[in-house]
């Protein structure tokens, strides 16, 4: 039996069926590359959105701290609080823990205070530690954004009232 082969130009054997597998291989490679580029682009967009939300959460947490600072440092709040003990004149207590909503973020503000007397001086100092946590999204998911800001501030008063408010000698 003789086998017939086709010949192309110049008497060379024809390459039947070579172009189709090469084209399919090339299409598969290009499709994979396109899918990879789409994945990278999507990841970059999500990361950019997370960065923006993180900045917004930080500013919401700062707003919570500002609210807490106003509660403990505002002169009208200080004068409203009657001294429960003469040793601590007009020192406001920490505000109750608050849950605020600021621009879609849930902001939790907490406060703790410690009292100190300076030895040999007629001054009382109350140190406030304010912590504000702002968050948005479901905890444990990739879309959760949370930022925390902590501030420590002190307030000084003369026991005998000789010094003006906030002007301990």
Q: Which of 155, 85, 154, 158 is nearest to 121 (CA)?
A: 158
pLDDT digits (tens, 9 = 90+) for 112-150: 999 887 766 667 788 999 999 999 998 888 889 999 999
| pTM of the full structure | 0.69
- pLDDT band for position 79 (cuts 50, 70, 90): very low
Q: H or E stretch including 34?
A: helix 19-73
Tally the residues of the chain.
Answer: 169
């Amino acid at each position: 039996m003789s086998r017939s082969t086709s010949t192309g130009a110049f008497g060379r054997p024809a390459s039947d069926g070579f172009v189709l597998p090469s084209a399919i291989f090339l299409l598969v490679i290009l499709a994979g590359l396109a899918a990879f580029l789409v994945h990278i682009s999507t990841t970059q967009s999500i990361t950019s959105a997370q960065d923006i939300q993180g900045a917004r959460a930080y500013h919401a947490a700062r707003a919570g701290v500002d609210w807490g600072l106003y509660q403990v440092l505002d002169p009208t709040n200080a004068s409203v609080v009657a001294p429960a003990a003469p040793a601590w004149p007009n020192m406001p207590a920490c505000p109750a823990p608050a849950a605020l909503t600021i621009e879609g973020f849930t902001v939790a503000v907490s406060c703790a205070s410690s009292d100190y007397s300076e030895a040999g001086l007629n001054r009382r100092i109350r140190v406030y530690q304010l912590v504000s946590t702002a968050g948005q999204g479901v905890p444990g998911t990739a879309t959760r954004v949370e930022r925390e800001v902590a501030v420590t501030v002190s307030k000084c008063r003369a026991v005998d009232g000789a010094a003006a408010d906030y002007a301990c000698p």
